[in-house]
Amino acid sequence: MPRFKAPHIPSFEITPKSVYLRRRDILGLAAGGLAMAAAPQAFAAPLTAKPTDYKVPDELTPKESVTTYNNFYEFGTDKSDPAANAGKFKPEPWTVKVDGLVGKPQTFGLEDLIKAIPVEERIYRMRCVEAWSMVIPWDGMPLASLLSLVEPTSAAKYVAFESVVRPEEMPGQSGSFQPLPWPYVEGLRLDEAMNPLTLLAVGLYGETLPNQNGAPIRLVTPWKYGFKGIKSIVRITLTDKQPPSTWNIANASEYGFYANVNPEVDHPRWSQASERRIGTGGFFGTKRVDTLPFNGYGEQVASLYKGMDLRANF
Ligand SMILES: Nc1nc2c(c(=O)[nH]1)N[C@H]1C(S)=C(S)[C@@H](COP(=O)(O)O)O[C@H]1N2
Ligand SMILES: [Mo]
């Protein structure tokens, strides 16, 4: 049973027609086997911005690449490890605890969350700090919608996120070599968290999120490096202090808190001026494209950083 229904934004508004037709094929195939219980829901208006903000003209990364070339160190450090090792992971049932500086702390069952907030499709670029990138059709809900349900207090300035810890299901948490400290943690400033682009994804390509992509719910901040997109979230805490973030803990000189995509600020060990667009030019192709400031989302987010030195706050 899929955890969400069809995207609420009409796909034809935000997706090239060929892709839309292909998506219909995918959904049709799935429906043939599963006998969809629910009738298609009426399309609702997008929650926070025009549908045109939610697509990019770039070619989609094939689903095969999106689901087999991953970073999810809980399942191992090679790109192929998450797809190979995440089969044991059980993303159902699932709860997300939302607490801290909020008026109405709450633990949401994932099913209830999906009922409370319409799931939308968002086609976003994703730029890993390692200088590869993809274009992914996510299905998810604006983080702002979830936060409004718990009513952050005026003291709340940041949002902290925490991934699940399950050594019995996650070989990267149980082996003799522990690549990172667990749990994986991340954070955003509250205004970044409230930005309409910030998404909690529960699916991709119109289907329930695969385990290797962060099932059943993960963060997507398309103007930031991929490591901000924390997977398999179990807790979201509103705070008045800048939260710790895993890659910053692991290596503060190479990975900052903000991690905004910036072609002008190189990683100490490689250039960030361009990126390998995975899945273009054949299977795992490596077409190189220029990296854009804020990954091309400057119009929506640059104002968040007005007056800040983006070299110091990398
Ligand atoms: N919990 C957790 N979240 C994580 C990671 C991880 O290792 N553990 N890797 C991050 C990195 S570096 C990237 S680039 C993206 C990759 O997401 P994808 O595999 O869905 O493309 O997930 C991010 N979220
Ligand atoms: Mo990454």
d(CA 310, CA 6): 39
Q: How many distinct structural domains can be found in the chain?
A: 1
For the cut 70, the answer to whether the pLDDT of residue 225 exceeds it is: yes
Task: Check: CB of residue 138 under 8 Å from CB of residue 199.
Answer: yes
Does 155 map to a domain? yes
**Which tens digits make up the pLDDT trace of 149-208?**
999 999 999 999 999 999 999 999 998 989 999 999 999 999 999 999 999 999 999 999
Does 4 map to a domain? no
Query: How many Å lie between the centroid of ligand 2 and the Cα of residue 153?
Result: 32
Most informative mutation of 78, 127, 231 for ligand 1 (most atoms within 8 A of CB): 231
For the cut 50, the answer to whether the pLDDT of residue 23 exceeds it is: no
d(CA 89, CA 75): 10
Task: Check: CB of residue 198 under 8 Å from CB of residue 142.
Answer: yes
Q: What integer is the mean pLDDT of 197-226?
A: 97
Q: Distances in Å between the alpha carbon of 258 and those of 188, 239, 243?
A: 8, 16, 11
Atom of ligand 1 nearest to the CA of 212: 19
**Which tens digits make up the pLDDT trace of 37-85?**
333 333 333 343 334 469 999 999 999 999 999 999 999 999 999 999 9
Query: How many Å lie between the centroid of ligand 1 and the Cα of residue 2?
Result: 22
Atom of ligand 1 nearest to the CA of 128: 14
Query: How many Å lie between the centroid of ligand 2 and the Cα of residue 126?
Result: 9
- CATH number, domain at 191? 3.90.420.10
Does 134 map to a domain? yes
Does 312 map to a domain? no
Residue 144: domain span: 11-305
For the cut 60, the answer to whether the pLDDT of residue 90 exceeds it is: yes
Please tell me if the CB atom of residue 70 comes closer than 6 angstroms to any atom of ligand 1: yes
d(CA 88, CA 187): 28
Most informative mutation of 67, 71, 162, 232 for ligand 1 (most atoms within 8 A of CB): 71
Please tell me if the CB atom of residue 122 comes closer than 6 angstroms to any atom of ligand 1: no
Beta bridge partners of 100: 238
Atom of ligand 1 nearest to the CA of 214: 20
Please tell me if the CB atom of residue 205 comes closer than 6 angstroms to any atom of ligand 1: no
- Tokens representing 80? 């192929």
Query: How many Å lie between the centroid of ligand 1 and the Cα of residue 41?
Result: 31
Does 158 map to a domain? yes
Does 311 map to a domain? no
pLDDT at 18: 37
Task: Check: CB of residue 120 under 8 Å from CB of residue 54.
Answer: yes
Most informative mutation of 72, 130, 233, 245 for ligand 1 (most atoms within 8 A of CB): 72
**pTM confidence score:** 0.86
For the cut 60, the answer to whether the pLDDT of residue 2 exceeds it is: no
pLDDT band at 139 (very low <50, low <70, confident <90, very high): very high
Does 2 map to a domain? no
